[in-house]
Amino acid sequence: MKRILSISLLLFTLTTDMYAQAADIPLFEIGLLLGEPLGVSAKYWYGERSAIDAAVAWSFTEEGIFEVHADYLLHPLLRTLENGTLPVYIGLGPALRIGEDWFLGGRLPIGVQYLFETFPLSIFGEIAPQWQLLPDNEFVLSGGIGIRLAFGSVR
C-alpha cells in the first residue's frame, strides 16, 4: 500500500509540475543533424504534445550514401525548467538509405530536446532503433544529436 501511495504521489507531483507553466513551444524548427551521416533536420509541431520531424543526410565517409527519414513524434513528458523546456519524445516513421549499401525500413526514435527560453534555439539527442526490411531483414541501432533554429509558436 505504501508503494502505491508513493508512486501516486510521484506521478501527481510530476504532472502538476508539468502543467504549472505553459511551455513556449515553437511552430517550426530547422537545423543540423550532427554526426555521420551529416544532414539537415526539420521539425513541425502540431501542438505541445505532437510533432513530425524529418532529416536528409549525406555520408562523407561512405561514398554515395544518402539517407532520409520522417517520424511522427509524441511528447509524453514535457518539463518546464527555469530557462527552457525539456520535451521527452517517442516516435515512429520510415527510413530510407540510397546508395551501394541501401535499405528501406522503419524507425522508433526515443529522444530528449531542450528548447531555450531566451533565444530561438533547441538542441536534441535521440536513439533510434531501425528495422531494415529490405533488402535484408536486419535490426540496427542508430542515433544522433542536433541543433535547430526555432520559428513561431504553437499558441
Give me the residues paired with residue 78 across strands.
87
Q: How far is CA 86 from the centre of its chain?
A: 11
Q: Side chain identity at 9, as an amino acid letter?
A: L
Q: How far apart are CA 45 and CA 128, in angstroms?
A: 20
Per residue of the chain (155 residues), what is the pLDDT tens digit? 555 444 444 554 454 444 444 568 999 999 999 987 899 999 999 999 999 999 999 987 777 789 999 999 999 999 999 899 999 999 999 999 998 888 999 999 999 999 999 999 999 999 999 999 998 899 988 889 999 999 988 87
Maximal C-alpha separation, the chain: 60
Residue 14, classified by CB atoms within 10 Å of its CB into exposed (0-12), middle (13-18) or buried (19+), is: exposed
pTM, entire model: 0.81
The end-to-end CA distance of the chain, in Å, is: 42
